[in-house]
Each structure stands twice: as structure tokens, then as C-alpha cells.
Amino acid sequence: MGAHSFQRLCENLDLPCLHHKSYQSQADKLYSNTQKVRDVFFSKAAEIVRKEHAKRDPSVAEPQTLMDIAVSYDGSWLTRGHTSLIGVGCVIDVLTGLVLDAHVMSSHCQACENKKTLQKEDADKFAVWERQHLGSGECERNFFGTAGMMEVHVSKIMWARSVMKHNMRYTIVVSDGDSKSFNAVSEMRPYGPHCIIEKEDCINHVCKRLGTALRNLIVDASKRKITLGGRGEGRLTQNAIRRLSIYFTRAVRSNTTSSEMRDAIMASVYYMFSKASAPFMLQRTLFMVFL
């Protein structure tokens, strides 16, 4: 809860409100204690992750042993859109589902916000104050880019400290389809030039992108005056797209090699659109998409 929201709450409850400086002081203490508790939880999570991986590979049981693991990474923001001032990134172990690390980025500082009037009245005096403020380490702002780049910046921070924090290397990343963070980490080479970080796509996100691609296919075809969607047997209806997405996901989960997956995926396409009633243009277009 921010200072403004806390003030509104006090007004509605007919209670005296804290001065913004007092509120900020209490918020700083709360954040400091929260960080300590968070670090304890991350350490315990790392111990559990190591024990679970040691069941598969006993050589990594000791905490002193460097361990390579597969993780998923994603970021989130306080508000939707590209204007959020606060963002967070999390690293999650794939085997256990436990959060190993998280980091918050903020492009907002309440103290700097309160000095905006001084900046307009006396720029030189504000510059002196700003240097002292930044040098004291009390500035809450730790990011100066766009909201969209927070996720990328956080990934670089957490990959750089994974060995020091848990003696683990995040060598496999299960991605949600957005490759910006993965590319940034790969180019950084946090574990040395000979340790390559690999990327694997999450099947749920791949399935979602397939449905989006098929819907876009209908729109693009309609611009060329070709009808693929609509109603009727053999049409690329919303129900057909949903079924294709389910068949696609099932084919990937049920097979191990890429050739087996491809055969199973194509079999589902032939099964749904090989009837004589299916428009020839629809059959040809779908086969081109899946091939």
C-alpha cells in the first residue's frame, strides 16, 4: 500500500494519518525486514532443490558442489501496460517449482518526487542535493530505463549472482516465448565463455501462439477475399482452432523425438481436414502452416 492509498484509508476510517516522511521511514524498516525474511526463504528453497536434484545425481548433494539446473524465468509489473514504475523478476526451479531468487526494480523514488519543486525553483541547489542523495544510498530508484526493459535487467542481475547465492548455474531456461531476457543472459555469458545457456520453450505458451497464429491466418486470408473461417463443416472455426491446439499439445507431450512429434501433429491435421467437404484452400493453407 502506497502513501496515498494509506492516506485514503485513514480518511475513510476517520483516523489521523502519518506524515509522508514518517510513512516512508516505516516503509523502509518494513522493506528491510522483508528482505531478510525473503533471503531466508530463498536459502531454504535452494537446500530443498539441491536435495531433490541429488536424488537423481548424488554427486551434487554437497553444498560446495557447483550444480547446473533448469529454471523458468518471468517478470511482472505493478500495473499493466508499459508505464509501470515497479517491476519484479523471478527464477523458479523446474524440478520442484520453488522460487530460488527474485529482484525488484523501481524507477520511482518518493524523496526525488518530493524535490521536484526544488528542481524547478533552483536547479543548481537540486543538483547538489541529488548528488548527496544518490551518494548516500538512500535513493529507492535502481532502474533508469523503460518498464519493458526491467525484465531483461533483472535477469542479468540474478544470473550474475546465482553461483555466489546458491552455488548453482541456471544453464537451461524454460521460456515463455519472449527471447529478450534469454538473449541478454546468453550474450552476458555469466558462467564463462565455455558454459552455454540453452533455451526451451514452454509447451503451454507454444500452444497459445499456435492458436493466435491460426486466428491471424483467418484475418489475413479475409483481406485477400479468401474465406477460411465462418460456420459449417470443414471451416476453421474457433472450435476447430481449440481442437487443433489440444491435439498439438498432446502430440508434443506424448512423443520424445521431433520426427514423432511432427508425424503426430500432421496426423491430427489430416484427421480434421481431410474430408471432401473441407475447402481445398483451407486444407492447402493449413498443411503449409504445419509443414
Residue 5's pLDDT band, with cuts at 50, 70 and 90, is: confident
- Please identify, among 182, 201, 220, the residue that sits at the C-terminal boundary of a domain: 201
SS (H, E, C) 142-153: CCCCCHHHHHHH
Q: What is the pLDDT of residues 176-200, one digit of tens each?
A: 766 788 889 999 999 998 999 998 8
pLDDT at residue 287 greater than cutoff 70: no
Q: What is the pLDDT of residue 239?
A: 82
Average pLDDT rounded to a whole number, residues 109-117: 80
Residue 156's pLDDT band, with cuts at 50, 70 and 90, is: very high
Q: Please indicate, yes or no, whether residues 186 and 212 belong to a single structural domain of this protein.
A: no
Q: Is residue 56 part of a domain?
A: yes
Residue 158's pLDDT band, with cuts at 50, 70 and 90, is: very high
Count CB-CB contacts under 10 A for residue 14: 6
Q: Please indicate, yes or no, whether residues 60 and 13 belong to a single structural domain of this protein.
A: yes
Q: How many residues does the structure list for the chain?
A: 291
Mean pLDDT computed over every residue of the chain: 83
Q: What is the pLDDT of residue 98?
A: 95
| Structural domain span for residue 244 | 204-290
Which of 67-76, 182-191, 221-230 is predicted least confidently? 221-230
**Contact indicator for 254, 225 with CB cutoff of 8 Å:** no
Q: Please indicate, yes or no, whether residues 243 and 274 belong to a single structural domain of this protein.
A: yes
Distances (CA, A) of 137 to 23, 68, 128, 149: 19, 34, 15, 23
Q: Please indicate, yes or no, whether residues 12 and 42 belong to a single structural domain of this protein.
A: yes
Which are the contacts of 134, defined by CB distance < 8 A and separation ≥ 6? none
Average pLDDT rounded to a whole number, residues 149-167: 93
Q: Please indicate, yes or no, whether residues 228 and 253 belong to a single structural domain of this protein.
A: yes
Q: Is residue 114 part of a domain?
A: no
Q: Please indicate, yes or no, whether residues 211 and 90 belong to a single structural domain of this protein.
A: no
Report the alpha-carbon distance of residue 213 to residue 215 in Å, rounded: 5
Q: Please indicate, yes or no, whether residues 196 and 217 belong to a single structural domain of this protein.
A: no
Whether the predicted model's global pTM rises above the 0.85 cut: no
We report the CATH number of the domain holding residue 150 as 3.30.420
Q: Is residue 257 part of a domain?
A: yes
Q: Is residue 81 part of a domain?
A: yes
**pLDDT greater at residue 273 or residue 160:** 160
Report the alpha-carbon distance of residue 97 to residue 91 in Å, rounded: 10
Q: Please indicate, yes or no, whether residues 18 and 85 belong to a single structural domain of this protein.
A: yes
Q: What is the pLDDT of residue 276?
A: 46
Q: Please indicate, yes or no, whether residues 214 and 147 belong to a single structural domain of this protein.
A: no
Q: Please indicate, yes or no, whether residues 178 and 281 belong to a single structural domain of this protein.
A: no
Q: Got the DSSP string for the chain?
A: --HHHHHHHHHHTT-PPPPHHHHHHHHHHHHHHHHHHHHHHHHHHHHHHHHHHHHH-GGG-STTS-EEEEEEEEEEESSSSS--SEEEEEEEETTT--EEEEEEEES--HHHHHTHHHHHH-HHHHHHHHHHHHHHT-------S-GGGHHHHHHHHHHHTHHHHHSEEEEEEEE-S--HHHHHHHHH-TT-TT-PPEEEE-HHHHHHHHHHHHHHHHHHHHHTT----SSSTTS--HHHHHHHHHHHHHHHHH-SSHHHHHHHHHHHHHHHH-STTS-HHHHHHHHHHH-
Q: Which of 42-56, 112-126, 255-269, 270-284 has the highest mean pLDDT?
A: 42-56
pLDDT at residue 175 greater than cutoff 80: no
Report the alpha-carbon distance of residue 35 to residue 151 in Å, rounded: 20
Q: Please indicate, yes or no, whether residues 13 and 150 belong to a single structural domain of this protein.
A: yes
Residue 159's pLDDT band, with cuts at 50, 70 and 90, is: very high
Q: Is residue 93 part of a domain?
A: yes
Report the alpha-carbon distance of residue 145 to residue 262 in Å, rounded: 42
Give the chain's domain count. 2
Backbone torsion region of residue 81, taken as left when φ is above 0, otherwise alpha when ψ lies between -120 and 50, otherwise beta: left
Q: What is the pLDDT of residue 46?
A: 95
b/e code 239-250 from CB counts within 10 Å (16+ = b) = ebbeebbebbbe
Report the alpha-carbon distance of residue 6 to residue 14 in Å, rounded: 12
Q: Which of 57-61, 172-176, 207-211, 274-278 has the highest mean pLDDT?
A: 57-61
- Please identify, among 201, 216, 242, the residue that sits at the C-terminal boundary of a domain: 201
Q: What is the pLDDT of residue 47?
A: 95
Average pLDDT rounded to a whole number, residues 159-187: 88
Q: Please indicate, yes or no, whether residues 192 and 210 belong to a single structural domain of this protein.
A: no
**pLDDT greater at residue 103 or residue 212:** 103
Residue 55's pLDDT band, with cuts at 50, 70 and 90, is: very high
